[in-house]
Amino acid sequence: MVGGGRGLTRRTGAHDGPGNAKTMIGVKGLDNLQRCVETILHEGIPGDLIETGVWRGGACILMRGILKAHGVTDRKVWVADSFQGLPPPDAARYPADAGDLHHTRTPLAIPLDEVKRNFSMYDLLDDQVRFLPGFFRETLPSAPIEKLALLRLDGDMYEATIQALENLYPKLSPGGVVIIDDYFLGSCRRAVEDYRHACSISAPILPVDPGDPKNKVYWTK
């Protein structure tokens, strides 16, 4: 449970470390994700849903729960993560990641079995949930995904962000949604800007919460 006052404000905006919670996204981020998924369903945008960088799986659990609540049986939720934390920076290939310390943050390394248990807690671990364990450079190029309707990126680093965009954005249907969790981080923002420039993407980038300095953003393809 979340306490009142300052604690509630921090959790709403995802400014705290949420203890045993299943996600760090915060209430506004989760509300935005729900709206995006339900809009996709309402408008009939074809494709599956994916998150790259899932931590304890909360966002993917929500996505699977929304599909179940709407009786959707022909879409999958893809859960992509190393399940062992972030990789050390490859500064030679991705200079923007030089000095990045995310790989030293052991709380980010949540084992696959724990994520599966979290799905099971909500009776949502089934054949519509597919796991892609491994670093993105190893798993995403050959991921057996045909089409996507929603792409949620939460990889923190330039490498993780650009790998996800390069390998998955071409599979995103027109009308599909991209959510960038870490846009406030310089390396992530640069990867997004580089990819959008390279691919001449002009769709407006919208804030999840305009008043949040650690804002997540999204756009529609």
**What does the pLDDT look like over 63-117, one tens digit per residue?**
999 999 999 999 999 999 999 877 787 778 887 777 677 776 776 778 999 999 9
Per-position DSSP letters for 42-75, written without gaps between them: HHT--SEEEEE--TTSHHHHHHHHHHHHTT--S-
Rounded Cα gap, residues 106 and 89, in angstroms: 15
pLDDT per residue over 34-69, tens digit each? 999 999 999 999 999 999 999 999 999 999 999 999
C-beta of residue 53 within 8 angstroms of C-beta of residue 154: yes
**Joined tokens for residue 27:** 């209430």
Whole-prediction pTM: 0.88
Q: What is the pLDDT of residue 60?
A: 97
26 φ/ψ angles, rounded to the nearest 5 degrees:
90, 160
Q: What is the pLDDT of residue 46?
A: 98
Domain extent listing, the chain = 6-220
Q: What is the pLDDT of residue 14?
A: 45
Q: What is the pLDDT of residue 15?
A: 45
pLDDT per residue over 153-196, tens digit each? 998 889 999 999 999 999 999 999 999 999 988 899 999 999 99
C-beta of residue 158 within 8 angstroms of C-beta of residue 97: yes
C-beta of residue 183 within 8 angstroms of C-beta of residue 215: yes
CATH homologous superfamily of 6-220 equals Vaccinia Virus protein VP39 (3.40.50.150)
Task: State whether residue 206 is helix, strand or coil.
Answer: strand
Is residue 17 scored above 80 in pLDDT?
no
83, 36, 43: which is closest to 62 by C-alpha? 36
Rounded Cα gap, residues 171 and 72, in angstroms: 20
The label of the residue with tokens 């190393």 reads: 82
Q: H or E stretch including 114?
A: helix 112-121
Is residue 30 scored above 90 in pLDDT?
yes
Rounded Cα gap, residues 31 and 29, in angstroms: 5
90, 97, 47: which is closest to 67 by C-alpha? 47
**Joined tokens for residue 67:** 């599909």
